[in-house]
Amino acid sequence: MTSPNTNITSVLKESRIFPPDPGFTAKAHIKSVVEYEELWQRAKDKPEIFWGERAESLHWFTRWNKVLEWKEPHAKWFLGGKLNAAYNCLDRHLTTHRRNKAALIFEGEPGDSRTLTYQQLHREVCKFSNVLKTLGVVPGDRITIYMPMIPEAVIAMLSCARIGAMHSVIFGGFSAEAVAERNNDAKAKLLITADGGWRRGKVVPLKQNVNDALAKSPTVEKCIVFNRCNTSVEMQKGRDLWWHELMNEASADCPAEPFDSEHPLFLLYTSGSTGKPKGILHTTAGYLLGTSYTHKLLFDIKDEDVFFCTADVGWITGHSYIVYGPLCNGTTVVIYEGAPNQPREDRFWEIIEKYSVNILYTAPTAIRAFIKWGNHWPKGRDLSSLRLLGSVGEPINPEAWMWYHDVIGGGRCPIVDTWWQTETGAIMISPVPGAIGTKPGSATRPFPGVVAEVVDKGGNPVPAGSGGFLVIKQPWPSMLRTIWGDDERYHKTYWSHYPGWYFTADGARQDEDGYFWVMGRVDDVLNVSGHRLSTMEVESVLAQHAKVAEAAVVGKPDDIKGEGICCFVTLKAGVEKTDELKKELREHVAHEIGALARPDEVRFTEALPKTRSGKIMRRLLRDIAANRISTQDTSTLEDLAVLAKLRDDEE
Ligand code: PRX
């Protein structure tokens, strides 16, 4: 790990504080900082009692008999309990006033829209669960979901949960190669996709990618295809089946079976510091409790709210705050299929106006794009229904925070900046609205049950204001349970730096008020537009290219994306350094991983700068990529070996 560094130097100077609005506080779930602190302290001192009480909010077929078994680094929560995640998200609402409440409001990119009530969603999920059963899916099977942002993605996820199969959702922006790699790691039995999905007026050819992926995925026996775009696709006889044909035959009677609290709910692949993505495993009860409880308190959810989370279900934000948290709470969720600037730059604002959205949850990278597009877009729409705003995925720079607050929130909406990770399952550090005053750029204080600290390499707390490593010192219900098929990596990645504490791989500091300022990753993970990517993944893909000898990949500051991808490449002998080759390499990465990994810059170099022991000097490369140092003084612009000599002792 390297020292925490910050891309956002301005957060260090930020001192504005926005106290909670008394009108908001009066109606909030948590009404004061004292109430928050009592809750937090109780959760820290008596976690089993605290979480046991919270777990009463879920529906149980059989109650647990032990709240926590912690054999570091393995936690089991609510032992002996039996429940069903889909039952919690659907069935139990059917006997209440929520039966005919909108569960999902879907807005397609071309302008089509659909609403599914809890009852309708339940019916679809029951039918699709029966489809899966008929195809031989049994509890514990892994099912890949590679779909656009349409209700069927949610239906597929909840159907897996209903019958105890584990879903592994792969973001639609990933390539065929990436899909095959994840299928194989998970040994997926079945894949659910669509012919395509709409993005910027074009069809993303999901089924075509799937065809390529399945040629290399021997464990996948069947593929279900939803017809979203009416494009003609190649269907392989005996393997590929149409969603609508299967659903025509399916019964809507599918009682939810009880599963153990620790029954695996899903795998979600994310990037780590090696080239191989990690299958993060989450289990049923703890995850459901963590997501529903944080969702309720941090978004201050009321029954009448309309909640719009702009994430894709392919990421953890979509899992936790489109599907499991909100539906478990019986909330109305808006989902949108496409790009924020299709057909125009006010699409989000149009959706907020159209559905009177009360809570918006989006990412800083989107906010920065909105700022660039101009205030006239949001100003042209009625955003007065909004009462709370959320931010997720990367540090939010104070400038973006202030714009979000003033232009979108009209100065009246609290902003909850939410720090968390795929691994944490649910939000960990964020201001409980109505109770905690906010500071632009700070995720503020840990959620009840989260014991977070900033420490130095030796595990000692660092003084207020100093940078260090963010750790979590007690287990929490929605924590990951392991890395699929690689418990050793789980142990090494998260629990070996500080025995007994979870290592987040984020750098942070705490200010004199105890507020956390998360500064970014300290490992070789990039955060490009809020998407997690491993530098090693990009490097190994570049190294596979026939003309490349060696490659080193680092992040560079980017005004919109937060971080961009810069590749330093040495070519094989005799290969000419041309702009065409740069383009070819960028496309090669996009083809192998997905468009989200397309490098922003490729730079050819004679040699990569290395330390005497042969380690690539990434800090030097980061400085060059960010133009923080001048390369003018070396004999040739990219003769990095010379620079490396000057810096050898620094890395
Ligand atoms: O570096 C942190 C950053 O995103 C990483 C986790 O990425 P992922 O697992 O893809 O989950 C993203 C959505 C939860 C973290 O290690 N990060 C996420 N939220 C914030 C953040 N950094 C600063 N502030 C945040 N609010």
Same domain as 479, residue 537: no
395 is in an annotated binding site: yes
| pLDDT at 614 (0 to 100) | 82
Q: Among 161-170, 240-249, 364-373, 518-527, which is the least confidently predicted range?
A: 518-527
Same domain as 532, residue 501: no
Containing structural domain, residue 153: 96-257
Domain of 454, CATH number, reads 3.40.50.12780
Same domain as 80, residue 107: no
* Average pLDDT over the chain, rounded to an integer: 94
DSSP 602-637: EEE-SS--B-TTS-B-HHHHHHHHTT-S--TTSSST
The arrangement of strands across the sheet holding 142-146 comes to: 240-242, 222-226, 190-194, 142-146, 166-169, 264-270, 278-283, 482-483
Average pLDDT over residues 625-641: 64
Atom number in ligand 1 closest to CA 521:
1
Which residue's CA is the nearest one to ligand 1's atom 11? 421
598 is in an annotated binding site: no
Percent of the chain residues past pLDDT 70, beyond the cut:
95
Residue 401 forms part of a structural domain? yes
Same domain as 291, residue 359: yes
Residue 354 forms part of a structural domain? yes
CB 264 within 8 A of CB 61: no
CA dihedral 213→214→216→220, nearest 10 degrees, is 130
Domain of 590, CATH number, reads 3.30.300.30
Residue 11 forms part of a structural domain? no
| pLDDT at 580 (0 to 100) | 98
Same domain as 534, residue 515: no
Pocket residues for ligand 1 (CB within 6 Å)? 270, 316-317, 392-395, 417-422, 443, 504, 506, 518, 520-521, 527, 532
Atom number in ligand 1 closest to CA 396:
24
Instruction: Give the domain-ending residue among 257, 284, 311.
Output: 257
Which residue's CA is the nearest one to ligand 1's atom 25? 419
| pLDDT at 648 (0 to 100) | 52
- Helices 118-134 and 151-163: crossing angle in degrees, nearest 10, is 60
Average pLDDT over residues 479-484: 98
Helix extents (H) in 505-578: 535-543
437 is in an annotated binding site: no
529 is in an annotated binding site: yes
Instruction: Give the domain-ending residue among 257, 277, 302.
Output: 257
| pLDDT at 272 (0 to 100) | 87
* pLDDT exceeds cutoff 50 at 5: no
CB 330 within 8 A of CB 354: no
* pLDDT exceeds cutoff 60 at 632: no
* Residue in the block written with tokens 């978004």: 299
Q: Where are the beta strands (DSSP E) in 512-624?
A: 516-521, 525-528, 531-534, 548-558, 562-571, 601-604
DSSP letter (8 states) at residue 279: E
Residue 13 forms part of a structural domain? no
Distance from the CA of 62 to the center of ligand 1, in angstroms? 35
| pLDDT at 482 (0 to 100) | 98
β-strand partners of 389: 360, 415
Task: Give residue 236's pLDDT band: very low, low, confident or very high (50, 70, 90).
Answer: very high
Give the pLDDT confidence of 411-438 residue by residue, as tens digits. 999 999 999 999 999 999 999 999 999 9
| pLDDT at 616 (0 to 100) | 87
* pLDDT exceeds cutoff 50 at 6: no
45 is in an annotated binding site: no
Residue 270 forms part of a structural domain? yes
Instruction: Give the domain-ending residue among 193, 224, 257.
Output: 257
Same domain as 335, residue 252: no
| pLDDT at 8 (0 to 100) | 45
Same domain as 517, residue 529: no
Taking the C-alpha atoms of residue 510 and residue 444, their distance in angstroms, rounded to an integer, is 9
CB 517 within 8 A of CB 11: yes
Residue 6 forms part of a structural domain? no
420 is in an annotated binding site: yes
Secondary-structure breakdown of the chain: helix, strand, coil percentages, each rounded to the nearest 5:
35, 25, 40
CA distances from 573 to 548, 549, 607, 640 (A): 9, 8, 12, 18
Same domain as 390, residue 456: yes
Q: Is 493 helix (H, G, I), strand (E, B) or coil?
A: helix
Better-predicted residue by pLDDT, 305 or 624: 305
Same domain as 111, residue 76: no
Our mutation pick for probing the ligand 1 site, out of 310, 447, 532, counting the most ligand atoms within 8 A of Cβ, is: 532
Q: Name the residue type at position 49.
A: I
Q: Where are the beta strands (DSSP E) in 337-426?
A: 359-362, 388-392, 415-418
Same domain as 512, residue 392: yes
CB 166 within 8 A of CB 263: no
Same domain as 115, residue 57: no
* pLDDT exceeds cutoff 80 at 174: yes
Using alpha carbons only, give the angle 201, 203, 206 rounded to the nearest 5 degrees.
150
419 is in an annotated binding site: yes
Residue 440 forms part of a structural domain? yes
Nearest C-alpha neighbor of 334 from the set 317, 364, 298, 358: 358
Phi-psi region for residue 448, left (φ > 0), alpha (ψ -120 to 50) or beta?
Answer: beta
Distance from the CA of 61 to the center of ligand 1, in angstroms? 34
Q: Among 5-9, 48-52, 590-594, which is the least confidently predicted range?
A: 5-9
Task: Give residue 459's pLDDT band: very low, low, confident or very high (50, 70, 90).
Answer: very high
Give the pLDDT confidence of 438-452 residue by residue, as tens digits. 999 999 999 999 999
Same domain as 421, residue 514: yes
Our mutation pick for probing the ligand 1 site, out of 271, 273, 392, counting the most ligand atoms within 8 A of Cβ, is: 392
Residue 36 forms part of a structural domain? yes
Which residue's CA is the nearest one to ligand 1's atom 26? 419
Our mutation pick for probing the ligand 1 site, out of 169, 294, 421, counting the most ligand atoms within 8 A of Cβ, is: 421
Q: H/E element holding 214?
A: helix 206-214
Give the pLDDT confidence of 270-286 residue by residue, as tens digits. 998 888 999 999 999 99
Average pLDDT over residues 288-309: 98
| pLDDT at 15 (0 to 100) | 76
Distance from the CA of 407 to the center of ligand 1, in angstroms? 24
Distance from the CA of 345 to the center of ligand 1, in angstroms? 26
Taking the C-alpha atoms of residue 126 and residue 133, their distance in angstroms, rounded to an integer, is 11
Average pLDDT over residues 111-135: 98
